[in-house]
Structure 1
Amino acid sequence: MDVSIRFLRYFVATAECGSVTSAATKLNISQPSVSAAIAQLEADLDMQLLVRRPSRGVMLTPQGSEVLRAARELIERVEQFRAATGAVNVEMRGELSIACFINLGATYLGQLIRSFGEKYPNVDILFQDIDQQDIFSALTSGRVELALTFDLDLPSGLDATIVAQRPAMAILAENDPLTRRKTVTMEALSERPFVLMDLPHTRDYFLSLFTAKGLSPNIRHRTRSFETVRSLVGNGLGVSILNLEPKTPITYDGCAIVTRPITGSPKPLQVVILTPQRLRQRRLAQAFTEHISDYFSAPSGSPVH
């Protein structure tokens, strides 16, 4: 059963004014409109709410008294809801749920949330740092409104806004002989033990860089952790390829790693903001999207190079 809030407002006004005529004057609408709305409300609820008394106005029935109390509470909640959503629109106040690709989260998310909070202190960013497949699921299910990720195997139904590009780079231990080269070939990397970032869609991208050259990597270790890749490489257990370079070359366990461009500039990754096509973005989500774009486009916006 669907009940019109407008009809409830007309009913409350009529009960409070004591007559349809007075209610129509208060609401600044015609008397027949009020009468028709109340009649429709009674039909929708399948009960009589008012007793019409010629020349003496209206009187509430027992059911009408109960509905009047409930209607007032409901209208108050509607007003509170409108006030809350109005605050979000005007003052950027409220919560925004987002997703971030796990590696991008460790590299960018803290600065993005902090700088956005400085502009909009009354907004709470609720985030999930997850892999690519989980990002797709979170967006299509509506658990998040937008996501910051890479352009890896994007499905239909999502809009992608490119905000940055990150090249593929060779990751080497500090004492690796390959560090003496200005660039490293895919052939040289294929000859060495390889540490693979083993996340859904991500692994396919890195493997495709070898396939494009007719090569196969000598995979020695697989891990889902960005920092574990760096640590294994730093400890001399293999080489790797990554598209992100944190500010520090030191791994968690104190080893040093070195990055080198890859000869021929293999396919880079695009950093994108994903939003569901079917979802009309709230102003709050639009503001965060613009903030991300500004962050990456500013000369000092990207903290890693």
Structure 2
Amino acid sequence: MNRGFYKRIEEELNNNKNICIATVIKDKGDKHLGKKILKINEEILIEDEENIEFYNRIINKINFNESGKTIKIDDEIEIIMEHIISKPNLIICGGGHIALSLASMAKMLDFNTTVIDDREEFANKERFPEVDNVICDNFTNALDKVNFNKNSYFVVVTRGHKADQECVEKILKNKFRYLGMIGSRGKVAHSINQLLEKGYTTEDINKVNAPVGISIGAKTPAEISVSIMAQIIQEKNNGNVSNIDEEILNDIVYSDNSKVLVSILHKRGSSPRGVDAKMLVKDDSSFIGTIGGGMVEKVAYEKALDLIKEKKSHIESYDLSNSAAAKLGMACGGTIKVLFEYIA
């Protein structure tokens, strides 16, 4: 794909737009290998207006909602569908002990993280130096300052029931991907009754994960945070969506050097990384990201350097099973298909 397309992707991700990508992974003579069609909300963009008939053959036969699928258009053309989302946003309502460890884990897991609290001593950058945003205000006002969208995850861990209830009611009126509220079963039952009395539906209430987190017998703030993040990760990965690492995307858009984006398209059996893992290899021999490490990554890296010189895209399959794996120093027992996408 050309840099202009990646620039558009960056802009639309920052605007929290819905982005679907169809990538050509097979065509006659590999003339269009790696070329893409973007669908941004209802707008469809193609890379090459001179070959509009080729792209129309694809557009007329695909459903852009079929994310994560490889689709055979005809005997000559195959594409893979992706649904791209921005980095997930975690908004923590409350700046207490649980918020401290939860924010730290969220940043380690590459979430954009916001902490809100109405107390200055609990909502400041000295207390939360790692987070992206700290808001000190009453919870209703603070929630007006955050993004509500399908990539927003909310955890309500304030100092008291009244503030918890205020946050949950505000969040339920907006778009979000996940909502969790801390509390005992008795407190949760009381909150549910209050929501019903205020006209919230059973469907609304079922969106609230309460008590929050996966049941692991957690006791300490750190253990509770582990259970919460585990539940959030489970929700985040429940669906055929992917994202592009911000560092990789920024390098593609703003750096002029030649490069190849290496992406895992398909895996069967066991492999170090899953579908959508990406590594950007640049003409100065540096790279960003990983497709799993080890000898397979080394071989893919060297292939990418060759393709930069040849200025071409390519697809390669790597067999990680039995004797084939031994030759690559691996013992995963699976296969992966990799797209090498030359970026002009």
User: TM-score band, normalised by the shorter chain?
Assistant: under 0.3
Q: TM-score, normalised by structure 1?
A: 0.24
Higher helix share: 1
Q: Which has the higher contact order (CA 8 A, sep 6+)?
A: 1
Larger Rg: 1
